[in-house]
Structure 1
Amino acid sequence: MEQFYLVPPHSPLRDTLRHCWQMSRQAAARAHETIIPKGLVEVIFNLNDEEPVAAQIEARAFQLPRCFLSGFHSVPVQTWMPRRHALFGMVLHPTAVASLFRVEAADFVNQCLDLTLACPPLRELGEQLLDAADFAQRVQLVQQWLLRRRPEPTAQERLLNQYLNAAAAPGLSVPALAEQLCYSPRQLTRRLRALTGMNAEQTLLYQKYRHATGLMHRTDWSLTEIAHACQFTDQAHFSKTFRSFTQLAPREYRRRKSHLPGHLFADVLESGMSVTYK
């Protein structure tokens, strides 16, 4: 079961919190989930109080922390979920993360940073979420927590958030994007690297990839049409870029995609599990 809460535009948290979600599952078998890079910055609370969640990023295997920060990954995350599990997440605006937790992308890209190390008060919030009666109460708890700490973004930060959250990838060059966001190209690269771990050119390409992934879910367009709509040079360029982020060909992702964009699911047998923690 998935639940979702979108922050309304009149909320005092509109520049801090984008939405909250909860996923809970009780099934006969474990689930293997592949999460391709989604371009979201989210704080995720692991509400499993009985069994840990196994995860792997590239060759590194680990257990998901109770509360972790996940960002603009450039490689997939693999998880092996217990038969019964629950996760709660709050998706934040990128610039809010830096202000709230005093971390930069280098601290959490391509890893699941134990956020209680950077922000100890999250331990108490995590316990409150674990004890909460339902999703609505958890949403209320995180909103109260954020209201006491919410940063006030500058006009430039609002523009940056709008660009990084955009569902479509505008066809801009780095100088044009810098002008639109009121930065010099050098300032833009420095700012984007702090927020996403990528320079300006890489971020532009990443946004095209994200837009293409969304179109594979929202439309029945051909891959050639999607490549053209996202302003890739050609379908080969699109396929190469998509594979570099997901380790999958676009055609394979489209065949295996689930109802949740960016998530691929498969049940696994206990005997088939082999994860070594390092």
Structure 2
Amino acid sequence: MLNATLTATTAPAARSKDSLGCLSNQLGRDLELDTGEFKFYRKSTVDDQASAVAMHGSDRGFLIGVSLKPGHRRRIYSAHRWTTHDFSQDSVYIRDFADDYKADLQRGFDFVLIELSRAFIANACYERNGSNVARLATLAGRNDPTLGHFAQILSLTLDRKSEASPLFVEQLGIAVGTHLLDQYGDTACSSFSKTRRLSSLQETRAKDMLLAKSQGSVSIEEIANACNLSRSYFIRAFRETTHRTPHQWLLEQRIDRARDLLRNSDYSLSQIAIACGFSDQSHFTRTFSQLVGTPPGTWRRQAAG
């Protein structure tokens, strides 16, 4: 796995590789979502066939892998010695692409991976406290339930890319980056000023911007700039003020609008889905059922008495 080339070859050199250097014919699942600022991947092997990977350093940034299941093992060469790491579910590795990398992947894997640019880490540090240090600790095999939770969400998002809200994906990337800086960032980067609430004007402006854009296409950066805040600070302050993330708040507003239309109009479910900013009726039904506890058609019949 990883952005790598196989060091031992008996098969033809022309075998195709994916965007991270994995041999495509060894992957049972190969999904990618490129937002421009973050890249998310889901990579899993067909079987437990071993492979060796090696790559030279580059300026791509950092790669974070989160294991979705136990059983993977890899030997990594670093500081003139080999170390072996076993991965359980929620085990994590962090790679700095600037460093040369060499590893034996001894068993199959199922990983969600997050690629963050060095510029993203530097900007996130600067937003926190004016430091432009861009370093994360490199590690392998450490258990991190929080990243494990993010990975589960990302795996579902990758499976349903067509339904993924840009606003939600942006928030998820920022949340992952914030956690990484908190837990594994350089000391100069890991501190963050105490969260504050939005002012009434900022709260109103943020909510108006969220509601004004259809399909969640407004970005956190746009809203944060309008409030004269950094993105990370804005998300924390919005959550402190509303007890919701911007995406959660927007979903609740759409569901409230949908309930009003279900009760007071004869629109079809597909018409209501589009009117309320959902990608299609299926997406609307799933979201409504999750938040309300019953499908929209059933809710409409019950509301009609």
| TM-score for the superposition, normalised by structure 1 | 0.32
Larger radius of gyration: 2
Higher relative contact order (CA 8 A, sep 6+): 1
